[in-house]
Amino acid sequence: MDDSVNLQRLEELRKMILKLACGDFSYRVELNNKQDDIASFGLMLNLLAEELGSFLTHPNAFGEKDLQKPYALLIDNEFNIIGANWIFINLLKYSKDKVINQPIQNFIHSNSYKNFKKQVRGDQKDTQYALVIKLILIFLPFNSAPIDCWGYCYKLTSFKKSYYFIRGLCILNHINSFEGPISSQSFHTQRVNTVLQFQADIQKIRAVHQFILEHLHEPLPPISTISRLFHINEYKLKKGFKELYQITIFKFHLEKRLDQAMVMIKNTPTSLKVISYSLGFKSFPHFSRVFKIKFGSPPSHFRKNNS
């Protein structure tokens, strides 16, 4: 009996690996309370899917910068929109009252609608795996060209009523494929003219990223020093870092320090000057100036609000 159960659970892991290989990062291994190797592999595969999903759905960004905020909407069982965030409202370019309580059909392409219905209805048969469905949707904004989006649809059930919660992002303009942002075509597009041709270089740049994070309290060493330290040429380091994280080394170092400064300002009584020096800023006026550029107000404003 145990053997057959374990075989089934192993089959689940294989299924998960195949899903990952096909680029479906929304799939999760179903977990139970068992504490064994199969369960731990299942959990780690779930985490891996989460990490890969966060990287690959924002190509080349590693979750660092310029990430789009997701649209989100809630649909009832009759496919009427009963709630949406402002990003979705802005996306459609209608006023909120013209979107809420309206059928989703009014705002998406007919093929997209059919496909959506088919997928969510089809999955009802197999309730065990009906938790998340990956969708490609074409929204029809007011007076504008259709927008291709991908999204994950979560089925929620409450008091015998079903709801569909969809969240996702617009597919980037340069990606025309309907297979989603992780299609081979999109990668091909991304890799043209790239300096990141080799895994070894990517790993070195990731190490530089971690090095910067571990030395946020110090001024940034010259790029030439960093490149010597990590055995990578200066041009490749600068260009590769920008490609991988969508931000320059200098700006990344600055922004991370400012983020940390903000946490300190808001949550500790430490003087602003001490915070600025402890994060490697050479002078308080310089810190204050760059802080204001990033957050819109000087550091003292957040301290006052806090107190």
Partner 1 sequence: MNFLKTTYAEIMLKDGVLFFTYLPISNFDIRLAEQIVRDRLLIQKEQAYPVLCDIRNVSFPDVKARKYLAIEGSLLTKAVAYVVVPYMSTHLTRFFIEVNQPLVPTKIFTEKSEALLYLQKF
The residue ranges that bind partner 1 (CB under 8 A) are 35-36, 39-40, 43-44, 47, 50-51, 53-54, 63, 210, 213-214, 216, 256, 259-260, 263-264, 266-270
- CB of 113 or CB of 241, closer to partner 1: 241
- CB of 53 or CB of 180, closer to partner 1: 53
Shortest reach from residue 272's CB to partner 1, in Å: 13
User: Strand 147-158 relative to strand 161-170: parallel, antiparallel, unpaired?
Assistant: antiparallel
Shortest reach from residue 61's CB to partner 1, in Å: 12
Shortest reach from residue 271's CB to partner 1, in Å: 10
- CB of 40 or CB of 162, closer to partner 1: 40
What secondary structure, in 3-state letters, does the chain show?
Answer: CHHHHHHHHHHHHHHHHHHHHCCCCCCCCCCCCCCCHHHHHHHHHHHHHHHHHHHHCCCCCCCCCCCCCCEEEEEECCCEEEEECHHHHHHHCCCHHHCCCCEHHHHECHHHHHHHHHHHHHHHHCHHHCCEEEEEEEECCCCCCCEEEEEEEEEEEECCEEEEEEEEEECCCCCCCCCCCCCHHHHHHHHCCCCCCCHHHHHHHHHHHHHHHHCCCCCCCCHHHHHHHCCCCHHHHHHHHHHHHCCCHHHHHHHHHHHHHHHHHHHCCCCHHHHHHHCCCCCHHHHHHHHHHHHCCCHHHHHHHHC
- CB of 47 or CB of 293, closer to partner 1: 47
- CB of 119 or CB of 210, closer to partner 1: 210
Shortest reach from residue 140's CB to partner 1, in Å: 31
- CB of 225 or CB of 268, closer to partner 1: 268
Shortest reach from residue 84's CB to partner 1, in Å: 20
Shortest reach from residue 30's CB to partner 1, in Å: 15
At 54, which amino acid appears?
S
- CB of 49 or CB of 74, closer to partner 1: 49
- CB of 4 or CB of 35, closer to partner 1: 35
Shortest reach from residue 36's CB to partner 1, in Å: 8
- CB of 116 or CB of 291, closer to partner 1: 291
- For residues 137 and 148, what is the distance between their CA atoms, to the nearest angstrom? 6
Burial pattern 170-199, b for ≥16 Cβ within 10 A else e, equals: bbeeebebeebbbbeebeeebeeeebbeee
Shortest reach from residue 297's CB to partner 1, in Å: 19
Shortest reach from residue 125's CB to partner 1, in Å: 28
- For residues 185 and 192, what is the distance between their CA atoms, to the nearest angstrom? 11
